[in-house]
Amino acid sequence: ADYIDSLLDVASIQSGYIKLNVSEFDLYQMLASIYPYIQDKLKARVVQFDFTCSPTIGRLRGDEKRLRHAIIHVLEGMIKLA
């Protein structure tokens, strides 16, 4: 179901139904902001999650909100499987 939803999202973006909010953002800050959320999700599990990333990784141009959501979605799926 998640795979089909992802394909539908891509199709919607390509057809212009979903507009991306493209901007330049600091990739490290975005990734670092996800870490506390994932740590909180892991409290009930015996799983360790470490975040290691250079603060100078750079900037990225794209839809920060959608990328953040996609990364969280992948990590939550991994937590469910752990």
Over residues 1-52, the pLDDT tens digits come to 555 555 556 666 667 667 778 999 999 999 999 999 999 888 877 778 888 9
| Whether pLDDT at 75 is above 70 | yes
Measured CA to CA, the distance from residue 11 to residue 14 in angstroms comes to: 5
- 39-48: long-range contacts (C-beta < 8 A, 24 or more apart)? 41/76, 41/79, 42/79, 45/79, 45/82, 47/79, 47/82
**The pLDDT value given to residue 62:** 93
Tokens standing for residue 52: 């290691």
The residues, any chain, with a CB within 8 Å of residue 62's CB and separated by 6 or more, are 20, 22, 23, 25
Q: At 4, which amino acid appears?
A: I
